[in-house]
Amino acid sequence: MRRDNMIHVFRAIGVTVACLLLMSGALFAQTGKVVQGMLRDTESRTVAGASVQLIAGKDTMGTSSSGAGIYTFNNVRAEAFKIKVSSLGFEPFEKEFTFPKGQEKMIIPSFELTGIPNMLEEIVVGGVISVQVKGDTIEYGTKDLKLREGAVAEDALKKLQGVEVDKDGNVTAQGESVTRVRINGKDFFGGDVKTATQNLPANIIQKLQIVDDYGDMANLTGNKSGSSEKVLNIQIDPQYNKGYMTTLRAGYGTEDRYQTTGMWMGLNNNTQVSVLGNLNNMNAQLFDFNSMGGGARRRQGGGGGRGGGMFGATSGLTNTGSIGLNVRHDFSEKLKVYGSYSYGRDDNTTLTSSRQENLGLNQINSSSSDNNAIKASHRFESNIEWNITDKDYLKISPQIGFDNNDGRIYDNTSIYFGDVLNNIQNLNTSSKTSTPRYNVSGLYNRKLNDKGRNFFLNFNYDNAATESDYNRILENLVASESNPNASMDSIYEQTIQAMMNKSWNAGGTLSYTEPLSKNGRMEITYDLNKNKYDNSNTQKGYDRLGNIIDNPLLNYSYDYDYSFTTHRVGASYIHSDDKLTYSLGASVQPSVLNGMAYSLSESAVIDRKNFNIVPIARFEYKFSRQKNISVNYSGQATEPGVSQILPFEVSTNRTNTTIGNPDLDPEFRHQMQVRYRSGDFQKGNTFFAMLNANLTTDKIVNFRKSYRDESAAKLGVLQEIRYLNAGENVYGINSFYHYGKSLKEKTYNLMLMGSVNYNKNVSFISNEREALSGDKNIANNWVFMQGVMFRYNPSENLEINPGVRYSYNYTKNTFSSNSNRSVSSWTPNLIGSVNITPTTIFGADLSKTFNQGYGVNANPFVINTYIEQRFLAGQRATVRLQGFDLLNEQTNISRTISDNFITDSQTNRLGRYFMLIFTFKLQKFSGVNPFQEESGHGGMRRPRM
């Protein structure tokens, strides 16, 4: 079965990749005339970011002026045309032109734009609009950022107020993780954030936008509901829309560390092709295959870069190889196609030591593990956007993926009751898993009139089948209860397990909007969603001699088939004017959870019906163009998981058993989010704040029993997990703020950021084998964080960034005050780089962490440093010598708090090494002299924070 699946997937991938390659053949095939001009204000300063249109009859082309005030139109067919310019803070301007006979390129004399009094001073800094708050979008200009030659998008992000990039390259904006990236409004490599931020050169970027995206329906109709997704949109400067760029890198170092990376991107106005490749053993992944990205999003209820590889901080040690192709082609203003193919293979080895405290049971598990995982992934995604008419829009997004995983884990766990050792478990597990999957989504939007009457339809179908095989060998050493000093009894068992988990999801949304007045409209929606699961689980247990162990916990065959269906019908009133936008309404959502679970000897029926009334509420008020507040409510029902609902004893060994509950009700989660954004850019101030509160009814929680085996088998400590609805509301509150102050034309920057989070977790625990109900424990968890950062950046040749962070994590348990725990960390750091000569750069990244309260001890002092020399014309080539973790102290410690456990873990990370790296870069764009860009762009990226 697995081989057949792979054959079908590879055939589909082969066809789609061939289509992408054929589509990319259109590159450099466009023809036509060129129009170019420049925009200035009355004081002869260039005007960046202006909207420029070329109008010829019924045809219109659009672009934006670059940081140098330049705009360019390629492939102009008309002989006579009109140029129309509009820009915030300036009077509109338009003028007609005619191509001189025989000329293929026309240079238009500079336009002089007249400023609107009392407006320019409010938002323009140094002649460039640096930051703007536009509703759900924070827009940053990049042309005034002080970046070295060769910088990538990630380096620009690190200089933005309210945006953080951690050592692993993860991006956080206004306290929320950025989960998707787009280039010029379209997904790039399926939306992989690091793929774009760590490879796209900064000098071609005009704007960076942080968007609270509510999905395609909100983008098309303006009707927002449900929760938003943080999206980074990268706007390419129009002057770079024709040409190519490439980066090649190779390095080798001590401990046999190596890396080779390559990137090529070609652009020809309506066509964009990108190819990326990566091979290294430095934990530098190129793509994220954890989820299928892109596609038409449904509303659900409610150049440098990592190639340097220097500061990757992924847990464990990883050998990785990957390659990808991304293609976008605009066949016309109406028809646009874009998509990507990615392949990656990771071989990761992670060593972990942990201490786990079982709350209320006086039980401590101390363990160490050696985990090797090999994962190979294919992913193909495409999007077809068709503006059929000026009123009709259609988008179709097919996706195909295939994952193959091979794993081996050796785990040694010592279990203590109090200070007394009870038993030691040595578990050796090997596994193989394959998952073919495919998805198709789409949407259609119809504008019924010009007053706001609108019809919207979208749909989604997703199918996946995961086939898994496990081979586990457990040797359980059990201490004598009466004589702890006696030799330990050894119990051996081997289990061979085969699982097949099939699932599909299908759904659709209908929306009709009716205008009621100039500022008011009514929206009526219907949403259908169905999740279907078909799973099987078969296992056999053997003793040391290969004989089957006669125990139902080790020998079983289960099948379970169930579905979860929700319908939602809602109506809301939406008001929108220049200052105030709000929507009020309600929806009803019945849900049905039904199915069947059975084994060779027993069966169970799953049949649960629920009904929810869900408010619809959203409020947004604009105090000014640069200051607003928004409040949004969303609600979502979630079905129980497979292991939670299967009503049989399922165990991978006799010491750990899971028993599901077919009578579980689905959870329902209410969420309210408040966002405040403010910027006084004349004074260089920015302030962002976020408050997120959630409340879950019928929360599915654990009932965990842990007790000593009193049977003749004497297996030591046995653990059993059951599931039930909490019986009370579970809630949490998360908050975040960021304040930034810029002084002396951004030479000095001060940033304060902090967060306060609270979560209530409910669980039930018992140490009695026959207990039908346990003692309730409410774990109240508080996490406080405060940080301060200072940036001194007088020019692109010098940057110094000191900072410090403090975090405090406290958990209070109602079951026993003896299990209350707190941990804290102080982390001062210093990041900096300086040009020793115009072509020689030295950089360093230092951080020291002081930890308190963890069950494992680690206070690492990590020093990373490099020195590089640039040469060849335009500094195209670079040789860098870098040292990573000079004191060899880098480690990773963390605390995880769940309903029943507090777990402190420590994992290995990439240790000390030195590497010599050679990099070669080349760019060539029409109308731009290679390596003669405006000052403020270029250079080598600095170390990660």
Taking only the tens place, the pLDDT of each residue in 418-465 is 778 888 889 999 999 999 999 999 999 999 988 889 999 999 999 999
In DSSP terms, 688 is beta-bridged to 677, 738
Q: 184 burial class (0-12, 13-18, 19+ CB within 10 angstroms)? A: middle
- Written as one letter, the residue type at 267 is L
Task: Tell whether the model's pLDDT for residue 21 goes beyond 50.
Answer: no
Task: Tell whether the model's pLDDT for residue 407 goes beyond 90.
Answer: yes
291 dihedral zone (left: phi>0; alpha: psi -120 to 50; beta): beta
| Least confident window among 63-67, 161-165, 811-815 | 63-67
pLDDT 10s digits, 551-607: 888 899 999 898 999 999 999 999 988 889 999 999 999 999 899 888 888 888 888
Task: Tell whether the model's pLDDT for residue 280 goes beyond 60.
Answer: yes
pLDDT 10s digits, 100-124: 877 888 888 877 887 654 443 333 4
pLDDT 10s digits, 218-260: 777 777 766 778 899 998 888 888 888 899 999 999 999 999 9
Of residues 547, 295, 527, the one with CA closest to residue 398 = 295
Q: In the chain, helix, strand, coil percent, each to 5?
A: 5, 65, 30
User: What pLDDT is recorded for position 303?
Assistant: 34
Give dist(CA 928, CA 871) in Å, integer: 21
pLDDT 10s digits, 158-195: 888 778 888 778 888 877 888 888 888 888 877 788 88
User: What pLDDT is recorded for position 104?
Assistant: 81
User: What pLDDT is recorded for position 641?
Assistant: 83
**End-to-end Cα separation, the chain, in angstroms:** 47
The three-class DSSP label of residue 359 is coil
Task: Tell whether the model's pLDDT for residue 308 goes beyond 70.
Answer: no
Task: Tell whether the model's pLDDT for residue 87 goes beyond 50.
Answer: yes
More confident residue, 575 or 899: 575
From-to residues of CATH 2.60.40.1120 in the chain: 31-121
Average pLDDT over residues 641-647: 83
Of residues 99, 62, 61, the one with CA closest to residue 79 = 99
More confident residue, 22 or 384: 384
More confident residue, 357 or 131: 357
Contacts of residue 23, defined as CB under 8 A and 6 or more positions apart, other chains included, come to: 327, 329, 337
Counting every residue written for the chain, the total comes to 945
pLDDT band at 932 (very low <50, low <70, confident <90, very high): very low
Task: Tell whether the model's pLDDT for residue 945 goes beyond 50.
Answer: no
Residue with tokens 């692109």: 796
| Least confident window among 46-55, 442-451, 775-784, 857-866 | 46-55
Return the structure tokens found at 400.
Answer: 């195909």
Task: Tell whether the model's pLDDT for residue 291 goes beyond 70.
Answer: no
User: What is the full DSSP assignment across 870-894?
Assistant: EESGGG-EEEEEEEE-TTS---EEE
CATH class for domain 323-925?
mainly beta
Task: Tell whether the model's pLDDT for residue 942 goes beyond 60.
Answer: no
Measured from the Cβ of residue 136, the count of other Cβ atoms closer than 10 Å reads: 19
pLDDT band at 316 (very low <50, low <70, confident <90, very high): confident
pLDDT band at 336 (very low <50, low <70, confident <90, very high): very high
Average pLDDT over residues 476-495: 80
User: What is the full DSSP assignment across 699-735?
Assistant: -EEEEEEEEE--STT---EEEEEEEEE-SS-EEEEEE
| Least confident window among 345-349, 443-447, 887-891 | 887-891
pLDDT band at 383 (very low <50, low <70, confident <90, very high): very high
Which run of H or of E encompasses 487?
A: none
472 dihedral zone (left: phi>0; alpha: psi -120 to 50; beta): beta
- Written as one letter, the residue type at 540 is K
**Pseudo-torsion of CA 436, 290, 498, 473, nearest 10°?**
150
More confident residue, 322 or 31: 322
Give dist(CA 858, CA 835) in Å, integer: 34
Return the structure tokens found at 543.
Answer: 């003793």
Which run of H or of E encompasses 193?
A: helix 193-197
Average pLDDT value over all residues in the chain? 83
From-to residues of CATH 2.40.170 in the chain: 323-925
pLDDT band at 10 (very low <50, low <70, confident <90, very high): very low
pTM of the model: 0.75
Task: Tell whether the model's pLDDT for residue 89 goes beyond 70.
Answer: no
CATH class for domain 31-121?
mainly beta
Task: Tell whether the model's pLDDT for residue 672 goes beyond 90.
Answer: yes
High-pLDDT (> 90) share of the chain, %: 40
Give dist(CA 35, CA 63) in Å, integer: 12
pLDDT 10s digits, 834-881: 999 989 999 999 999 998 887 666 788 999 999 999 998 878 899 999
User: What pLDDT is recorded for position 625?
Assistant: 76
pLDDT 10s digits, 652-664: 888 889 998 888 8
